Chains A and B, each alone.
Chain A
Amino acid sequence: MSFIKNISLSLITFISVVKVSASSALCLTPNSHVKMFASSFRSGILERAQNIALDKTNFKNSESIHAENDLDLINKITHSFESGCKILVGLYTSKECLLIGPIAKKNNAIIISPTCGHPDIEQFNGNIFTLVPSLETYMNFVSKALSDEDKKDKDMLVIFQPSDLFSNKSYLLFKSKYMGNIKSLRLNSDGDFYKEDLNLLAQKYTTIHILTYPIVAAKALTELNNKKFISKDMTLIGSSSWAFDTTVLSKYIDIVKIFNRSLVPTLMKQETLTSSDFYKEYSKKYNEPPLGIHFMGFDAVNISKECLVKTINKKIDHTLIKKCLIENKFNGVSGKLNFNNKTPFVSREIYLTNLTKMLQMQD
């Protein structure tokens, strides 16, 4: 049942991102004169992580603000920044970070994002801190890992979604870094292949590399399986947003199992996650296991809280928070996290994980 709930939650979340674009904002008031403002595109996910993180603290008078779309999000966050909020926890998508980045910069506010990884965030260094390494770093790791597979002389089929900011950027970065031959198969936002690209399926490939959201990828995999395109001698690798969560793919494990190997570069070790207190507390509170992005959200809130606590009774200034973030090493439930003043992206480990085993553990 937990698996189905996870799937459902992921699906709902995905739909909210792609179709409805519902957003939420959370404003916390640790004391009478200090406000911590958090925002999330994936509202329910951040709220649950925040609830776990703040349950045992003296943060009270919390405030949650929900945004209907990007414009609504911009307006509400602008209003909050102008009202004195200096720390923003949330913003899951790169698009959100890129939209809110200029506003944060203008208002000297700090954004602590659980998952924004777009390289263009660099321009907001000092205002945005994200718990993921840069997409460039990530894709560099992926291309290096695949190049090491000694199959770079064979064609790789790369599946991506040009109309999605993160997927498109992931593809462009991978393409620029990978040394082997690649053929690109495009998907639309419904997960359907571009008709003009279907002729690519007449050829055999050693590796299928998917660079889009897992739920879209699941539909693409199903279609490929229906076309008898997948064979035992193939390798499957899912990167880009697969780094944060692949739970939805548990339903398609039979297709994943067909591949000779299935890999996913992740930011978290599955074994570490399931043994954490957060995992147990979350499972007990919500009667289902947390997703990968819950861990990221939990760490983002905790880091914010930690820095906020260290600056308590002082006049809140973004420089104090920034200093706290840069000078401290954080040991989060998702892994060890280190920030510096040169880049908004965190310095953390990337693991090349066996997808099949990971899905079996998640199930």
Chain B
Amino acid sequence: MNLRKLILKFLIAFSLISASILFFSLLAINTYTIKNRENLESLYLESTFEIYKNDLVGLMLIEDKETLSSLLQEISQKRLVDITVSTEAFMLSTTDKNILDSSIFTVSNGTSKIGDVFLKLKERRNLFNSSKEIFFLIFLQIIVFLIGYYFVTNQFQTKIAKPIVMLTNAKFNDNLNSFNMPDDAIEEVHKLATSIQNLYKEIVENEKNKTIALITRQVAHDIRSPLSALAMILSTLNEISEDKRILIRSAVQRINDIANDLLSKGKTAQNSDADINIFYTRNSNQNSDDCMLIPTIDALISEKRIQIRDKINLEIEYDSQKCFDAFIKINTKDISRVLSNLINNSIESFDEKGGKISVTVQQDDLSTLVIIKDNGKGMPREILEKLGKLSISYGKQNSESGSGLGFMHAKNIIEKNNGVLKIHSTLNKGTEVKIIIPKSQTPDWFANSLNITKKCKIFCLDDDYSIHQVWKRKFEFYTNKFANIKIFNYTSIKEFKESVAGLQNQKDILYLIDQEYIDQNENGLQIIEDLQIADKSILVTSRFDDDEIVAKCIKLGVKLLPKSMSGSIPIILK
């Protein structure tokens, strides 16, 4: 049913009701009139006589019959009465009818009678012989109905129906965003249009997000197979140095993590039209964990430096002094991705001239601060104000990225983990992003220092000679002047075992053992467990972020040290 039909129905109902009321009112009036007719008639005739009494009396006395006759005709026509005047000398009447049932008014001068005036209504009127009046009222009601119908429909058409149709057409024609509601539309329709426009924008954005999610999922899926192959090949590579292996493994692992993450988010997005912000934060909440920040950033910086090695004039500075044991309350994968995105943003802010990116980590008792600063092209204020929304990016028109996802993801992740992300940027000068994340307690399994005595013997097992050099330089100071510390380096598990056999019960011994060994059947934790030297051992490994390894360390009571932190771990001499 359209609006016109609805209004028509309403008005017909209204008209029927009003017609009924009109009819019953007339009926009531008629009934009352009939009931009081005699009295009313009497009053009417009396008033008629009083109005014309003076004129009648004068002409009756003068006996001017011609003028009196004209006056009687006039009275008869104006008052709808039959009138007869009778004196001793003459009688004049407007009717031939019997006047005996008329109202009689006697005229006298106080002492003698002048004559009689007979008055009678021409016809008795009631509702059912006043058909003309009834028809007129019905006609009047029809006119009012038609005018009302025209007016109401016109108003509804102009102010409601037409704007709604225009709004609908605009949606179907995909012109909703540029649609302007006519000024004479009612306020509610204006609000409806605004709501629909907003809803339409959201739908468009959601559709866009869905597409992104589908692509993301496909990309993740496609990445996983070559990654597996790469990981397999990596395990067979003996000819490359460990630092390169570590880097490759780390990169492969991160790519794998990202692929897994993408796949998970892609599934979530495809199955739900929920807001993209929710989709990201929910996922990261589920995997929320503490993160060992420094090695995470170390690995990331390494990766980025390789990434930009072709860019001659671009360099990344990194300073994490005094933050050796920084643990923060955030999932490692998430913070890694956040920082990666932000550093990528900085990288992309440079043109061919290049520049400098600095990553600084600081901490106090409660929180950790990460500052990523560049002297790139910066951003204008209007872009800064809109950052954090989808599709808002700056200066990436020619790059593959530019959806605005990176910064939005970073901000959501940080804020979801009770952190703060601040960005300050000046056009043509650069951008500074500060991330403040609450600290978490340093876990027991983490080796935050090397505790040695002056007579301590340090046994180092690692198939990478470069690590031997690291330890040698680190303990060099203690081997000469202040203490009699001795360092024993081994690349072979067999040799190591032979050397430490029988030393299990001795004090002042520290074992620094790598986890993975090329072409050797055992790993570090197996050796520690086998030799029962957990309380004196530190597992120095690049796989510090491997949950199984960490769990095993906790189980055995072995401290764990990320290999990348070997050079920076403090030494405490007892």
Contact = CB atoms under 8 A, between A and B. Distances in A.
Contact of A162 (B57, B70, B77, B109): B70
B57 A71 contact: yes
Contact of A95 (B51, B62, B70): B62
A165 B74 contact: no
Contacts, number: 57
B62 A98 contact: yes
B67 A168 contact: yes
A288 interface: no
A163 B74 contact: yes
- Please tell me the size bucket of the interface on A: 20 to 34
Contacts of B62: 95, 98-99, 120, 165
A98 B74 CA distance: 22
Given A21-B54, A71-B109, A163 B70 contact: yes
A70 B57 contact: yes
A51 interface: no
Contacts of B58: 70, 95, 99, 165
Contact of A163 (B54, B57, B71): B71
A69 B71 contact: no
Nearest to A70: B58
Nearest to B108: A71
B110 A188 contact: no
B67 A69 contact: no
Interface residues of B, number: 20
Given A75-B109, A163-B67, A168-B67, A69 B74 contact: no
B68 to A, nearest CB: 8
B519 interface: no
Given A162-B67, A165-B62, A189-B74, A74 B55 contact: no
Contacts of B548: none
A70 B54 CA distance: 6
B400 interface: no
Interface of A is mostly: helix
B534 to A, nearest CB: 124
B282 interface: no
B528 to A, nearest CB: 125
B64 interface: yes
B20 to A, nearest CB: 37
Interface string A55-99: 000000000000001110011000000000000000000010011
A135 B115 CA distance: 29
A207 to B, nearest CB: 24
B252 interface: no
Interface string B54-78: 1101110110101100110110011
B53 interface: yes
A120 B77 CA distance: 29
Contacts of A99: 58, 61-62
Interface string A38-52: 000000000000000
Contacts of A165: 58-59, 62, 64, 67
A188 B54 contact: no
A306 interface: no
A213 B73 CA distance: 20
A358 to B, nearest CB: 29
Nearest to A172: B66
Interface string A110-121: 000000000010
Interface in A212-271: none
Contacts of B57: 69-71
B74 A188 contact: yes
A168 B70 contact: yes
Given A69-B57, A98-B62, A99-B61, A188 B78 contact: yes
B79 to A, nearest CB: 12
Contact of B110 (A71, A162, A163): A71
B109 A74 contact: yes
Contacts of A98: 61-62
Contacts of A69: 53-54, 57
B305 to A, nearest CB: 105
B107 to A, nearest CB: 8
Contacts of B73: 162-163
Interface in A348-362: none
Interface string A260-293: 0000000000000000000000000000000000
Nearest to B64: A165
Nearest to B71: A163
Interface in A176-230: 188-190
Interface in A94-109: 95, 98-99
A122 interface: no
A164 interface: yes
A163 B83 CA distance: 14
Contacts of B54: 21, 69-71
B51 to A, nearest CB: 8
Contacts of B61: 70, 74, 98-99
Given A21-B55, A163-B71, A188-B74, A168 B109 contact: no
Contacts of A190: 78
A312 B64 CA distance: 40
A189 B71 CA distance: 9
Interface in B293-333: none
Interface of B: 51, 53-55, 57-59, 61-62, 64, 66-67, 70-71, 73-74, 77-78, 109-110
Given A99-B61, A165-B58, A189-B74, 11 more contacts: A69-B54, A74-B61, A74-B109, A75-B110, A95-B59, A99-B58, A163-B55, A163-B73, A165-B62, A165-B67, A168-B66
Top 10 closest A-B pairs, CB basis?
Answer: A162-B70, A21-B54, A163-B71, A69-B54, A163-B70, A70-B58, A98-B62, A95-B58, A188-B74, A163-B74
